Amino acid sequence: MQFQQQHGQIPHSFWLQSSHHLTSPLEASMNAEHQDAGAQHQEESTDAVAAGPSNSNQISTSFFPPPPQIYKKFTKRNLRYLEILNSHKLAEGEAPWEELAPSQRLERQNEILRQSVDSAKRAEHEVGLDIDMAPVGEEVTETTTLELPDFDLKKELEPPNIDWIEEDGGYTVFGQLWPIPDVTPTLEQLGIPVLYPLEGTDRKQLLLTLLQTLLQTYREITADLLKPAQPYDVWVPAVPDPSLTPEQQQQQMATNPGFWTQSTEAKDRLKHMQNVVVNMQFLINELRPVQAKETLKLIMQMQLERRKQETQLIKDRCASMRSRVQELKSMLARQSDS
């Protein structure tokens, strides 16, 4: 009351500013950023409603697909939260982060963040803010509430550990293992039969042989397509058991002479063509160093030929200029004689 008598009626905005100062700087900045993000999201949703309903299942026809939605989690507030988590030291006997379940990690994360914000608020109060300046009968309350992220910050925002990838010898992407360093698997490891000798052969001749095999198999498939319609089932005669007597074998053949099965000749030829193509690709990959060497030789030869042509052009131009100079000298000599 004495303060009001000396300075007059205190405006209401002053108390709002005072109540804002009672909030810690860390919490105030985080909450302000959250409010800005919420306002922006509200404006975007309002624009979307004004624009009309949109098809969420619409396929993006852009040449460059949009980035993954995880980038939206890299806000300034979440990054400050991550700094707080990384600076927190675990007590003795406290389980490390890797041994905790997802729910336990999230619970510990929220507890550490709340403790950090509370400690920042207590430090702010200890500075000596004048809390007694609030009006009588009015309590100072926080204008905003602290909202913590509902996902694991350390798991989502921290980059992968390169040392672990090197120790494991590779990494997995979409269920496929990529070794480090990159190792080209052999045909045996891929389960594909090798159709050429591995050592002491000419790669060029092998490629020509495989090409001829591929063309021959293609001709056979084309010939099968041009034949009249035939049944796809093939009769497979039974093989008698050699351990039986001739009478028993005859009885076995009489009861079970054989069976009909579906012909796999076309599938076998297609599979053979596929194996031939893979073998050709493997041989071509082995010739990549030779190709690079020959390409460098060709480039150097082209550069040498171009320099020879330029040198010859300069020599021809010099010869023409000399002949022209001689003609001019002879013309001057004739004019001086006359």
- What integer is the mean pLDDT of 117-132? 69
pLDDT the model gives residue 242: 83
Residue 229, helix vs strand vs coil: coil
> Alpha carbon of 239 to those of 55, 212, 250, 259: distances in Å?
65, 37, 11, 11
Lowest mean pLDDT among 45-54, 90-99, 120-129: 45-54
Domain segments of the chain: what residues? 69-90+101-121+146-158, 193-296
Q: Are 27 and 146 in contact (CB under 8 A)?
A: yes
Confidence band for 4, pLDDT divided at 50, 70 and 90: very low
Dihedral in degrees, nearest 10, Cα atoms 214, 220, 221, 223: 140
Q: Are 193 and 268 in contact (CB under 8 A)?
A: no
Q: What average pLDDT does the structure give for the chain?
A: 75
Of 267, 283, 268, nearest in space to 211 by CA: 283
Q: What is the residue type of 255? A: T
Residue 303 in this model has a pLDDT that exceeds 90: yes
Lowest mean pLDDT among 191-200, 207-216, 271-280: 191-200
Q: What are phi and psi of 21, to 5 degrees?
A: -70, -20
Confidence band for 200, pLDDT divided at 50, 70 and 90: low
Would you tell me how many other CB atoms lie within 10 Å of the CB of residue 259?
Answer: 11
Lowest mean pLDDT among 6-20, 113-127, 155-169: 6-20
pLDDT the model gives residue 92: 84
**Region for residue 205 given its phi and psi (left: phi exceeds 0; alpha: psi -120 to 50; beta: otherwise):** alpha
Q: What percent of the chain has pLDDT over 90?
A: 16
Of 185, 179, 209, 175, nearest in space to 195 by CA: 209
Residue 116 in this model has a pLDDT that exceeds 60: yes
Q: At what angle do helices 265-286 and 203-226 cross, to 10 degrees?
A: 160
The string over 96-108, giving b where at least 16 C-beta atoms fall within 10 Å of a residue's C-beta and e elsewhere, is eeeebeeeebbeb
The structure tokens listed for 158 are 């921290």
Geometric angle at alpha carbon 77, from 73 and 79, rounded to 5°: 65
Q: Which residues contact 80 (CB under 8 A, 6 or more apart)?
A: 26, 30
pLDDT the model gives residue 21: 39
Q: What percent of the chain has pLDDT over 70?
A: 72
- What integer is the mean pLDDT of 149-163? 85
CA distance 105 to 232: 62
Residue 35 in this model has a pLDDT that exceeds 70: no
